[in-house]
Amino acid sequence: MAPTEQHLDTEDLTKRVKDMYQEVALHPERDFHFETGRALAERLGYDPGDLDRIPPSAIDSFAGVGYFLDLAAIEPSDVVLDLGSGAGMDSFLAALAAGEGQVIGIDMTDEQLDKATRLAEDSGFRNVEFRNGMIENLELEPGSVDCVISNGVINLSADKPAVFASAADLLNPGGRLAIADIVSATQLPEGVTCDASLWAACIGGAMQEDDYLATIAEAGFEIVSTRRNDYRFISDRADSATQKYGVASISLLASRR
């Protein structure tokens, strides 16, 4: 008898991701498959002086996988779109660089959006706003964005080509895609890719690196640079998958053709 083909339950995945990142927003001190907070941010390369200028609670709920804002090279007056903005740490840092420009954070988790919006209001960040949405289907004016950023989120999407195609549509020609994400050295087996709990932990959705870069290129981007990040998972299950399949974090810059 032929083995039964496995499929990812995308509704279950969405629920698990929302539940996990609800906890990250409300209880960042709890244990997850991954690290959170300021110590992680500084190890990844974020400047302590910049972190001092944004709301500490946004940093507490930071669960990114790399540093990329140097690649983004955000300039005053830029319009920046943050895919999966969470509690807002990267959005707030982008807002500092954008000056009179605008930063729009997109997230699907209500608790993250509520926290980020409250922190923006309390801290006087008038050039950043947070919207509920799905990163596969972004409802903004085509060609209206100068830079798209994202940190450890695109791997959570079951339709990565749609994410990159949507980002490409919103960027003006020459616009920048600067992201950090999880990829793998080898193709993950069905037992991993169909496990929604491993997807929610940023492992099951890791795309083989060459395929990941090819998907970005096919969406209309030119890859400018890539680099590895000092990132690690902390649960035994996540670490085991990392070691077995070469799961790693990269940061990259791509330019809209």
- At 226-249, the pLDDT tens digits run 999 999 888 787 778 788 999 999
Q: What is the pTM of this model?
A: 0.94
pLDDT at 3 over 70: no
Number of domains in the chain: 1
- At 110-164, the pLDDT tens digits run 999 999 999 999 999 999 999 999 999 999 999 999 999 999 999 999 999 999 9
Torsion over CA: 73, 78, 82, 83 (sign): negative
Rounded mean pLDDT, 66-77: 98
* Strand runs labelled E in 44-199: 79-83, 102-107, 128-132, 145-151, 171-184
Domain presence at residue 127: yes
Q: How many whole angstroms separate alpha carbon 218 and alpha carbon 67?
A: 24
CATH number, domain with residue 172: 3.40.50.150
Range of the domain at 152: 10-256
Domain presence at residue 2: no
Domain presence at residue 3: no
Domain presence at residue 65: yes
Domain presence at residue 5: no
Beta bridge partners of 83: 106, 150
Q: From residue 237, how far is each of 32, 37, 106 by CA, in Å?
A: 11, 21, 30
Count other Cβ atoms within 10 Å, centred on residue 141.
9
Buried b (16+ CB within 10 A) or exposed e, 242-255: beebebbbbbbbbb
Contact 58, 257 (CB under 8 A): no
- At 32-57, the pLDDT tens digits run 889 999 999 999 999 999 999 999 99
